[in-house]
């Protein structure tokens, strides 16, 4: 049987929250249905002169609490349903951490590793031009995601600004500092995950210095995350990327792994550990497991092999509905993605505020505000989970869905 799609998982999670909250079918339909979505053809002239068509998407799932907010990903398998799921998760994520945003997401179906920098710039600018009616600092604000980076956001910002006739830094977040980016943005998701892990362990009377960890995914989030965990005293015993992984029971030298990746482009072949594949990493005998790669890696089969006491979801949608059920039955505490990895959108919000005010904060100010926001959000979710006897995922979903539903009811239905 095929694993459920990210959209099926997102819809199942919403249905659980709706049942707990007792909302009627009309509210369920409103919360399940994207407000706006666009599918565009994106023609690209390759460096050799021939033209190909890629497909691009932008979905605004909900904008009742504010403008849409969400990343732009470049990946070969991106499709509209995946973008719909990611946009829905962004809606709940922004609500859980009390940001004045709705949820949105974008994607272009391409493998960025197969395109030159010039080709990526041309496709980014054309995609931006095609979806321009949907985006803007008061409408929908993009950020980097899988396969994109701060340079991508600079191209989006410049394309939008040139078409509007003046510079508009607040149309994207995650930009380079030289064009209105924020200090701390590049590592914000990773720092937020560490704050969530520390808070969750503290509830059990455990410190990060006392645990071992495995991190699946060593990209923008996972690499910084492994470094921060190691700096906090955690024994990081395994890391992996799309090519494979490496493990050392006594702990990896994470700075050395980072240097190896800088030199080779992958963790594979790191001389300070033994090879391990991504599936085996999920079943390692560690205290803390951090899936930081892609959706759906913890399904019914892989979840049954998890030995970790805590799973902190740095990726979006890494656990399927069946995987969640298996982990719950085995007593594994799961800190859900919409809470655990919200540090990125929190500091994106800080960047957007700074761009609108044309006044930039110091890095210590940003770090302090991020820590406060993440710990406060965790405390709210954990308190609800304890009071109602539900999982952290269900608690986070209920809080997020309820806040969005309250905004719907307060605004009313037009006409």
Residues 166 and 229 reside in one and the same domain: no
Please, which residues have CB within 8 angstroms of residue 70's CB and are 6 or more apart in sequence?
86, 87, 90, 103, 104, 105, 106, 140, 142, 143, 145
CB atoms within 10 A of CB 332: 18
Phi then psi for 107, rounded to 5 degrees?
-165, 150
91 and 121 both lie in a single domain? yes
Per the CB < 8 A criterion, the answer to whether 59 and 105 are in contact is: yes
How much is the pLDDT for 1? Answer: 46
Catalytic residues: 105
Note if the bond before 267 is cis, omega within 30 degrees.
Answer: no
Domain with 158 in it: 34-171
Are 154 and 142 in contact, with CB atoms under 8 Å apart? Answer: no
157 and 197 both lie in a single domain: no
Q: Answer yes or no: is 181 within a domain.
A: no
Please identify which residue in the block is written with the tokens 């929190």: 346
Q: What is the per-residue pLDDT for 3? A: 61
Together in a domain, 98 and 195: no
CA distance 56 to 186: 25
Nearest to 73 by CA among 56, 95, 89, 85: 56
The encoded tokens of residue 80 equal 């509209």
- Look at residue 328 and tell me if it is in a domain: yes
Give the global pTM: 0.94
Which residues contact residue 250 at a Cβ distance below 8 angstroms, ignoring those fewer than 6 apart? 235, 237
Would you say residue 215 lies in a domain? yes
Rounded to whole angstroms, how far apart are CA atoms 284 and 239?
Answer: 11
Question: How large is the C-alpha radius of gyration of the chain?
Answer: 20
Same domain? 162 vs 239: no
Give the chain's domain count.
Answer: 2
* 166 and 193 assigned to the same domain: no
Same domain, residue pair 227 and 141: no
Q: pLDDT by residue (tens digit) across 326-375?
A: 999 999 999 999 999 999 999 999 999 999 999 999 999 999 999 999 99
CATH of the domain at 207: 3.40.50.720
Q: What is the pLDDT of residue 2?
A: 56
Spans in the chain with pLDDT lower than 70: 1-3
């Amino acid at each position: 049987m095929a694993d459920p799609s990210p959209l099926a998982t997102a819809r199942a999670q919403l249905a659980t929250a709706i049942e707990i909250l007792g909302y009627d079918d009309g509210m369920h339909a409103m919360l399940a249905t994207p407000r706006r979505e666009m599918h565009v053809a994106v023609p690209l002239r390759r460096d050799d002169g021939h033209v190909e068509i890629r497909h691009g998407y932008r979905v605004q799932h909900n904008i009742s609490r504010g403008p849409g907010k969400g990343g732009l990903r470049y990946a070969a398998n991106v499709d509209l349903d995946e973008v719909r799921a990611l946009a829905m998760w962004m809606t709940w994520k922004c609500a859980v951490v009390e940001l004045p945003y709705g949820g949105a997401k974008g994607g272009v179906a391409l493998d960025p590793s197969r395109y030159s920098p010039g080709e990526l710039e041309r496709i980014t600018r054309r995609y931006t031009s095609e979806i321009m009616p949907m985006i803007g600092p008061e409408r929908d604000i993009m950020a980097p995601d899988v396969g994109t980076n701060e340079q991508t956001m600079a191209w989006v910002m410049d394309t939008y600004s040139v078409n509007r006739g003046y510079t508009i830094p607040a149309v994207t977040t995650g930009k380079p500092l030289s064009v209105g980016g924020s200090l701390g943005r590049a590592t914000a998701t990773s720092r937020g995950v560490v704050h969530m892990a520390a808070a969750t362990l503290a509830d059990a009377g455990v410190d990060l210095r006392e645990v071992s960890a495995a991190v699946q995914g060593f990209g923008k989030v996972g690499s910084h995350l492994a470094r921060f965990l190691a700096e906090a005293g955690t024994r990081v015993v395994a890391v992996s990327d799309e090519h494979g992984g490496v493990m050392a029971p006594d702990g990896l030298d994470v700075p050395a792994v980072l240097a190896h990746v800088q030199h080779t482009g992958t963790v594979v072949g790191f001389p300070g550990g033994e090879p391990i594949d991504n599936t085996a990493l999920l079943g390692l005998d560690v205290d803390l497991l951090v899936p930081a790669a892609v959706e759906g890696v913890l399904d019914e089969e892989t979840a049954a092999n998890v030995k970790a006491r805590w799973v902190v979801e740095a990726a979006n949608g890494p656990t399927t509905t069946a995987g969640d059920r298996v982990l719950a039955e085995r007593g594994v505490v799961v800190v859900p993605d919409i809470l655990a990895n919200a540090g990125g959108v929190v500091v994106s919000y800080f960047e957007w505020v700074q761009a609108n005010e044309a006044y930039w904060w110091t890095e210590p100010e940003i770090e302090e505000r991020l820590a406060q926001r993440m710990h406060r959000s965790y405390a709210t979710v954990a308190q609800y989970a304890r009071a109602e006897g539900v999982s952290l995922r269900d608690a986070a979903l209920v809080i997020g869905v309820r806040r969005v539903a309250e905004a719907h009811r307060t605004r009313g239905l037009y006409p």
